[in-house]
């Protein structure tokens, strides 16, 4: 009995060896796959260039965004992640210690502890707002957020009672503070956090098809705008208060912070970020240089979003197609 | 008993009943009055919640552990990770034919032609839907966790069986392991063990080890006294007794444990995508985010088919074949009881010949190999050579399988590269599924129905109950729970209930707990309203029951992620959708146990009732139902536990309460907050579980089914 077991074990390990011999010894990086399609596309563009042009083998892991992701990168579990939106991240102020540069200009300086490396901008400039469908805006005459309260009954559902309903920022980890924002702006709506982008979009899509009025939190670029005609309610422009130290006493009403959003969102210069130790390694110098130059445009991402989310095509396929058709765009990132 | 005494007894019972109902009604009215009087949701006194900073303690503890013991967990994780990467690389980089052979041949050997063909289909499905890599990743992850579960589980089970004290020590731990939502420990595991395979395997172990520990323990303890006595009289010592007698005799029980471990591990491996474990879970999760029902369903089916395959495979080890009589032809594919039909016999003939041929070749090849080995070894030692030769020639299926593996990998590495699953065999069922669901989602009649249902559930069930439970002062609700605990279980449990509820309150999550409770209660009520009639129909119609069983099996094995999307499309996000998803997930036990309970009521009772002229309804109402109550309550009990378990997933589609609190804690990497909410769910589940179990026992005693 024992000998036969040993023999089988020996045979099995031989088979295993034969199988694993075929593996090539490529340079490896480990990336996170983002929560939303825009982020996935940006990352896929970076991965395609790393793999095809710089000879990497990139392992990709689905990982929900949020502080957990930042900690995983700081701990070296993952090498990099793509397209962080500064308005939504809470960890960036704590963990970056670098300037964010866009078009040669310093957009923001971070003064954190440097446990996470700012790899550079992605090129995507994100905008977030609350949106209503055009038919509702025209029918009800809503031009800005100030008109919302007059028509709140039209936006109410059985769940919200007298208040209007905002299909809010879906994921808890994104730190949107929708309800706080509504309260601070005096909009008598209730923000419903539906848990996933899918839940929010499913609801909005169904409402649009039925031509009902609804108020939706959404960011652009997003495929939703390609398929449905939406109008932003133009929240007051983002303004930071001096000193950034909020207390209940100095109740700011016209300026705010991330955690005290009395205005709309800031323009989001999105960025890629990675583990400092990985990118300090000279063997990844080329990858680091690429990340510093990468600059995908909003329009390119929006086009790919439509292909992926509406035409239901494979992300890798769409990105490969974009890469084949636009060599002039990405070749400049590698110079 | 004289008739007068009976009447008196009946009367007393009646008055007692009236008093009970009156008291319940009174309690309810007072609660209603209190809840309407209060201005907002009832909150625990701030003094208590401020002092009891459980969240901060947990986070400090976590920081301490992270700082001081992380190196240790990292080493453990390193080993597991290496093992996992080895398996993963092997599975992904090998030619697909080799992997297919490694999966199909054992199925063929252990489970016969039927299982072999089925496993071939499963492999094809993985490849054809483009889920080849994720499926193998899931399989590898699961295989490794099951292996480790079995190793540690059997060990702990043996310890439990040897020491009563150890068993008593393990019992509450096992209970907690099973009820604790996996999300709660999934994320802390991340910080100690990194992301990907290692924490996923460890979390899977926590979740799926209890059954094998329990079954090993009971299996060993059940070995009969006589066997043990006779063994001891032959002079075996304690260790010999354990390893030579007890464990081998407990093997069937252990095998059942392995089977359950596989099933549970499969459920968790899907969830593990949240901490970066690759596999089908990640696919389904991505599909959900894109509202792609077809994609999610494909992933779900991959898991479902894998589960069935592994289930049958592990079952085939504990099954012993009954030898057929001489003159009966053995069937390999068709059901054996079709043997009486001529046509079936003809159809099976080629299979018999094939089987004969294959085994003939296998035996000859194995004999040849055993002869070579025997010859080689005999140069050194004649006795061992004979032994080895015998051993090899007995394994006349295993050896040829290995030869096939060798041939495939040899061809792949030296002649033609086989590579990954061929693209041209792709067969996607995404589009049809998606289109079907889309069509249903825009159907005006159906949408009107879903809207009506949503309104009804929200306005008439969820909201009133929500408001009632959250607005009723906490001390009153606690009092009611403690009283129920006292009257059904006893003073000790009442005391424990009070402590547990105090914990929930002191953590500052009382309101969320009440919201969770109301969601669970509404879900369970709906499960009852839908499940009991279905169970009744099933108990009357055998055919309906068979169809229903297949559906229920699928519902229980399909990862619950899969049906979240259709629910979303039809009902929109929100609490109502969360409740409906909970109903779908937790309805199977109540249907099954209703029909079981009703069919179990022995025929004679209903015969008697019928002969006294009882109509169908009367029989059902007066005879069958009361006797089926214990079974019903077990169903209720399981449904409640499953509904609680689902609370952790529903935040993904708009659920509120403790589940959302867990998510919020995790998203901000605030382990304390997540843990407190997770424990809250566990505690509520434990309280309700204990109360309903105790109540069942009372019912059984009252019916005379069990002695007190």
Average pLDDT over residues B563-573: 77
- Kindly tell me if the per-residue pLDDT of A22 is higher than 60: no
Segment B304-328 shows an average pLDDT of 76
Name the pLDDT band for B679 (thresholds 50, 70, 90).
confident
Closest CA to B305 of B43, B163, B119, B133: B119
Between residues B74 and B290, the one the model is more confident about: B74
Strand partners, A106: A101
Minimal C-alpha gap between A68 and chain B (Å):
6
Would you call A206 and B459 a contact, using CB atoms and an 8 Å cutoff? no
Domains by residue range for chain A, with CATH = 27-125+269-334 (3.40.190.10), 127-244 (3.40.190.100)
Chain B residues whose CB is inside 8 A of the A4 CB are: 388, 391-392, 395
Cα-based angle B639, B41, A246 (whole degrees, multiple of 5): 115
Angle at B552 between CA B547 and CA B558, to 5 degrees: 125
Partners of residue B652 in chain A, C-beta under 8 Å = 195-196, 199
pLDDT, residue B4, reads 61
Task: With a cut of 70, say whether residue A243 has pLDDT above it.
Answer: no
Q: Average pLDDT, stretch B102-123?
A: 86
Asked if A62 and B285 come within 8 Å (Cβ–Cβ), the reply is: yes
Mutate which of B572, B649, B663 to disrupt the A interface (most A C-beta within 10 Å)?
B572
Give kind and range of the element (H or E) at residue A81: strand A80-84
Query: What is the distance in angstroms between the Cα of A18 and the nearest Cα belonging to chain B?
Result: 7
Would you state the pLDDT for residue B471?
85
> What is residue A48's predicted lDDT score, i.e. its pLDDT?
93
Q: Does A306 touch chain B (CB under 8 A)?
A: no
Q: What pLDDT shows up at residue A20?
A: 47
Contact B196 A312 (CB under 8 A): no
Task: Verify whether the Cβ–Cβ distance A61 to B196 is below 8 Å.
Answer: yes
Question: What's the rounded mean pLDDT across residues B335-356?
Answer: 78
Q: What is the mean pLDDT of residues A126-132?
A: 91
pLDDT at A231: 92
For residues A188 and A198, which has the higher predicted lDDT (pLDDT)? A188
Q: In terms of CA atoms, which chain A residue is nearest residue B89?
A: A20
How far A49 CA sits from the closest chain B CA (Å)? 22
* Mean per-residue pLDDT, B377-386: 77
Of A184-193, A310-319, B297-306, B327-336, the one with minimum mean pLDDT is B327-336
Q: Can you tell me the mean pLDDT for A57-72?
A: 80
Tell me, what's the ipTM? Answer: 0.71
In angstroms, the separation between the Cα of residue A335 and the nearest Cα of chain B is: 33
Stretch B180-203: mean pLDDT, rounded?
A: 75
Please tell me if residue A23 touches chain B, with a CB cutoff of 8 Å: yes
User: Are A22 and B413 an interchain contact pair (Cβ–Cβ within 8 Å)?
Assistant: yes
Out of B94, B273, B652, whose CB is closest to A196? Answer: B652
Three-state helix/strand/coil letters over chain A: CHHHHHHHHHHHHHHHHHHHHCCCCCEEEEEEECCCHHHHHHHHHHHHHHHHCCCEEEEEEECCCCHHHHHHHHCCCCCEEEEECCCCCCCHHHHCCCEEEECCEEEEECCCCCCCEEEEEEEEEEEEEEEEEHHHHHHHCCCCHHHCHHHHHHHCCCCCCCCEEEECCCCHHHCCCHHHHHHHHCCCEEEECCCCHHHHHHHHHHHHHCCCCCEEEEEECCHHHHHCCEEECCCCCCCECHHHCCCCCCCCCCCECCCCCCCCCCCEEEEEEECHHHHHCHHHHHHHHHHHHCCCCHHHHHHHHHHHHHCCCCHHHHHHHHHHHCHHHHHHHHC
Residues 612 to 651 of B: which have CB under 8 A from any A CB? 650-651
Q: Tell me which chain A residues have a C-beta less than 8 angstroms from the C-beta of B190.
A: 68, 72, 77
pLDDT on residue B15: 74
Count of A–B CB contacts within 8 Å?
176
Q: Name chain A contacts of B409, Cβ cutoff 8 Å.
A: 15, 18-19
The token pair that represents B309 in the structure block: 């395959």
Binding-face residues of B in 291-320 toward A, CB within 8 A: 291-292
pLDDT in tens, A143-163: 888 888 999 888 887 777 788
Does the structure show a pLDDT above 50 at B577?
Answer: yes
Look at A133 and A209; give whichever has higher pLDDT: A133
Residue of chain A minimizing CA distance to B671: A68
Pick the residue of A70, A156, A202, A222 with the most B CBs within 10 A to test the interface with B by mutation: A202
Which positions in chain B touch A162 (Cβ < 8 Å)?
none
Name the residue among B473, B144, B425, B404 with its Cα closest to residue B279: B144
| pLDDT at residue A251 in the model | 63
Q: What is the mean predicted confidence (pLDDT) over A261-271?
A: 86
What is the least distance, in Å, from the CA of B205 to any CA of chain A?
21
Q: Which of B98, B275, B458 sits opposite A159 (nearest CB)?
A: B458
| Contact (CB<8Å) A195/B652 | yes
- A195 vs B663: CB contact, 8 Å cut-off? yes
Task: Decide if B291 and A201 are in contact by the 8 Å CB cutoff.
Answer: yes
Compute the mean pLDDT over every residue in chain A, rounded to the nearest whole number: 83
Nearest to B143 by CA among B320, B309, B283: B309
pLDDT at A138: 92
**Confidence label for A98 from pLDDT (cuts 50, 70 and 90):** confident
pLDDT at A255: 72
DSSP B424: G
Span of A138-152, B42-56, B459-473, B639-653 with lowest mean pLDDT: B42-56
The answer to whether residue B336 scores a pLDDT higher than 80 is no
Contacts of A171 in chain B (CB under 8 A): 667
> Looking at residue A137, what is its pLDDT?
92
Residue A200 near chain B (CB below 8 Å): yes
- The per-residue pLDDT for A21 is 45
The pairing of beta strand A56-62 with beta strand A27-33: parallel
Question: What pLDDT score does B1 carry?
Answer: 44
Interface contact flag, B569 A206, Cβ < 8 Å: yes
pLDDT at A15: 56
Residue A63 has its nearest CB partner, among B195, B565, B576, at: B195
C-alpha pair distances (Å), B662 with each of B59, B656, B685, B693: 14, 10, 16, 28
Joined together, the tokens standing for residue B628 give 């089926």
- Checking if the pLDDT of B661 tops 50, the result is yes
Q: Categorize the per-residue pLDDT at B605 as very low, low, confident or very high, splitting at 50, 70 and 90.
A: low
Out of A8, A172, A201, name the one closest to residue B398 (CB). Answer: A8
Residue A44 binned pLDDT confidence (cut-offs 50, 70, 90): very high
Chain B residue numbers with beta carbons less than 8 Å from the beta carbon of A36 are 289
Nearest to A172 among B86, B434, B667 (CB): B667
Cα A309 to its chain centre, rounded Å, is 15
Q: Is A7 in Cβ contact with B392 (below 8 Å)?
A: yes
Interface check B416 vs A, CB under 8 A? no
- Residue A306 in tokens: 């439509």
Residues 201-260 of A with CB under 8 A from B: 201-203, 206, 209-210
Q: Which of B197-211, B244-258, B522-536, B546-560 is most confident?
A: B522-536
Percent of chain B with pLDDT strictly greater than 90: 5
According to the per-residue pLDDT averaged within each range, which of B114-128, B227-241, B367-381, B439-453 is highest?
A: B114-128
Q: A125 at the B interface (CB within 8 A)? A: no
Which tops the pLDDT comparison, B561 or B174?
B174
Q: Is the pLDDT of residue B199 over 70?
A: yes
Task: Share the mean pLDDT of chain B.
Answer: 80
Residues 192-231, chain B, touching A (beta carbon < 8 A)? 194-196
Q: What is the pLDDT of residue A319?
A: 94
What pLDDT, on a 0 to 100 scale, did the predictor assign at position A131?
A: 93
Q: How far apart are the C-alpha atoms of A230 and A219, rounded to whole Å? A: 12
* CA quadruple A142, A143, A145, A146: dihedral sign: negative
Report pLDDT for A323.
Answer: 93
């Amino acid at each position: 009995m024992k000998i036969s077991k040993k023999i089988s074990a020996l045979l099995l390990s031989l088979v295993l060896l034969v199988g694993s011999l075929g593996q090539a010894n490529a340079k490896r990086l480990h990336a996170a796959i983002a929560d939303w399609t825009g982020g996935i596309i940006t990352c896929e563009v970076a991965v395609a260039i790393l793999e095809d042009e710089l000879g990497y083998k990139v392992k990709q892991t689905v990982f929900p965004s949020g502080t957990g992701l930042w900690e995983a990168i700081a701990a070296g579990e993952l090498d990099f992640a793509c397209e962080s939106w500064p308005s939504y991240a809470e960890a960036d102020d704590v963990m970056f210690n670098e300037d964010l540069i866009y078009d040669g200009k310093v957009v923001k300086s971070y003064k954190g502890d440097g446990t996470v490396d700012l790899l550079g901008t992605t090129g995507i400039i994100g905008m977030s707002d609350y949106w209503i469908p055009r038919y509702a805006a025209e029918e009800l005459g809503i031009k800005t957020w100030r008109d919302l309260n007059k028509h709140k009954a039209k936006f109410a559902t059985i769940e919200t009672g007298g208040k209007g309903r905002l299909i809010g920022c879906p994921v808890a980890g994104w730190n949107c503070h929708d309800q706080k924002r509504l309260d601070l702006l005096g909009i008598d709506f209730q923000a419903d956090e539906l848990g996933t982008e899918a839940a929010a979009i499913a609801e909005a899509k169904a409402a649009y098809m039925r031509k009902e009025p609804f108020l939706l939190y959404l960011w652009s670029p997003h495929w939703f705008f390609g398929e449905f005609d939406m109008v932003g309610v133009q929240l007051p422009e983002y303004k930071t208060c001096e000193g950034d130290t909020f207390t209940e006493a100095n109740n700011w009403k016209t300026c705010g912070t991330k955690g005290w959003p009395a205005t709309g969102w800031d323009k989001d210069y999105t960025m890629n970020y990675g583990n400092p130790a990985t990118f300090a390694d000279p063997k990844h110098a080329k990858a680091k240089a690429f990340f510093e130059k990468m600059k995908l445009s909003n329009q390119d991402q929006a086009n790919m979003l439509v292909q992926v989310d509406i035409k239901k095509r494979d992300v890798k396929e769409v990105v490969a197609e974009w890469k084949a058709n636009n060599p002039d765009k990405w070749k400049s990132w590698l110079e | 008993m004289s008739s007068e005494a009976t009447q008196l007894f009946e009367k007393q019972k009646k008055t007692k009943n009236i008093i009970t109902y009156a008291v319940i009604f009174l309690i309810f009215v007072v609660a209603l009055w209190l809840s309407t009087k209060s201005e907002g949701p009832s909150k625990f006194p701030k003094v208590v919640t401020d002092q009891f900073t459980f969240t901060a303690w947990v986070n400090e503890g976590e920081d301490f552990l992270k700082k001081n013991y992380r190196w240790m967990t990292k080493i453990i994780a390193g080993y597991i990770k290496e093992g996992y990467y080895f398996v993963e690389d092997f599975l992904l980089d090998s030619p697909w034919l080799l992997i297919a052979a490694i999966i199909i041949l054992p199925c063929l050997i252990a489970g016969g032609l039927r299982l072999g063909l089925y496993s071939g289909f499963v492999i094809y499905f993985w490849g054809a839907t483009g889920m080849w890599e994720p499926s193998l990743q899931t399989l590898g992850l699961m295989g490794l966790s099951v292996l480790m579960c079995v190793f540690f589980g059997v060990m702990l089970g043996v310890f439990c069986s040897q020491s009563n004290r150890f068993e008593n020590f393990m019992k509450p731990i096992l209970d907690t392991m099973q009820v604790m939502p996996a999300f709660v420990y999934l994320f802390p595991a991340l910080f100690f063990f990194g992301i990907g395979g290692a924490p996923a395997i460890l979390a899977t172990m926590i979740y799926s080890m209890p059954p094998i520990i329990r079954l090993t323990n009971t299996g060993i303890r059940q070995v009969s006294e006589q066997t043990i006595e006779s063994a001891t009289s032959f002079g075996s010592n304690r260790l010999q007794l354990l390893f030579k007698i007890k464990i081998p005799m407990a093997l069937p029980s252990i095998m059942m444990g392995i089977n359950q471990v596989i099933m549970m591990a499969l459920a968790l491996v899907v969830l593990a995508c949240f901490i970066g474990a690759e596999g089908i879970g990640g696919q389904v999760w991505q599909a959900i985010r894109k509202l792609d029902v077809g994609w999610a369903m494909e992933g779900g089916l991959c898991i479902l088919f894998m589960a069935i395959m592994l289930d049958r495979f592990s079952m085939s080890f504990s099954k012993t074949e009954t030898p057929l009589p001489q003159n009966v032809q053995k069937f390999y594919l068709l059901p054996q009881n079709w043997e009486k039909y001529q046509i079936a016999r003809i159809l099976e003939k080629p299979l018999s010949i094939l089987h004969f041929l294959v085994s003939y070749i296998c035996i000859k090849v194995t004999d040849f190999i055993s002869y070579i080995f025997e010859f080689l070894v005999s140069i050194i030692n004649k006795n061992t050579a004979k032994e080895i030769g015998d051993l090899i020639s007995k394994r006349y299926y295993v050896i040829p399988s290995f030869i096939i593996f060798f041939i495939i990998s040899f061809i792949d590495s030296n002649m033609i590269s086989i590579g990954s699953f061929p693209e041209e065999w792709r067969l996607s069922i995404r589009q049809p599924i998606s289109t079907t669901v889309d069509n249903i989602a825009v159907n005006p009649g159906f949408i009107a129905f879903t809207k009506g249902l949503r309104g009804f559930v929200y306005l008439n069930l969820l909201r009133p109950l929500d408001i009632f439970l959250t607005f009723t002062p906490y001390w009153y609700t606690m009092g009611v729970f403690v009283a129920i605990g006292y009257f059904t279980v006893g003073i000790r449990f009442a005391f424990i209930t009070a402590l547990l509820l105090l914990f929930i309150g002191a953590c500052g999550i009382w309101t969320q707990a009440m919201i969770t409770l109301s969601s669970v209660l509404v879900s369970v009520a709906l499960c009852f309203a839908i499940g009991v009639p279905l169970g009744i129909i099933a108990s009357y119609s055998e055919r309906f029951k068979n169809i229903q069983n297949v559906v229920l099996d699928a519902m229980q094995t399909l990862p619950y992620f899969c049906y979240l999307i259709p629910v979303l499309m039809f009902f929109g996000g929100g609490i109502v959708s969360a409740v409906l998803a909970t109903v779908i997930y937790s309805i199977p036990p109540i249907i099954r146990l209703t029909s079981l309970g009703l069919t179990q009521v022995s025929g004679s009772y209903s015969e008697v009732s019928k002969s006294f002229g009882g109509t169908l309804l009367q029989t059902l109402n007066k005879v069958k139902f009361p006797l089926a109550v214990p079974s019903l309550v077990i169903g209720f009990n399981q449904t409640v536990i499953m509904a609680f378990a689902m609370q952790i997933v529903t935040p993904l589609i708009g659920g509120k309460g403790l589940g959302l609190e867990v998510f919020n804690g995790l998203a901000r990497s605030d382990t304390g907050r997540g843990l407190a909410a997770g424990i809250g769910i566990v505690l509520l589940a434990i309280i309700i579980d204990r109360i309903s179990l105790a109540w069942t026992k009372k019912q059984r005693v009252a019916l005379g089914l069990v002695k007190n």
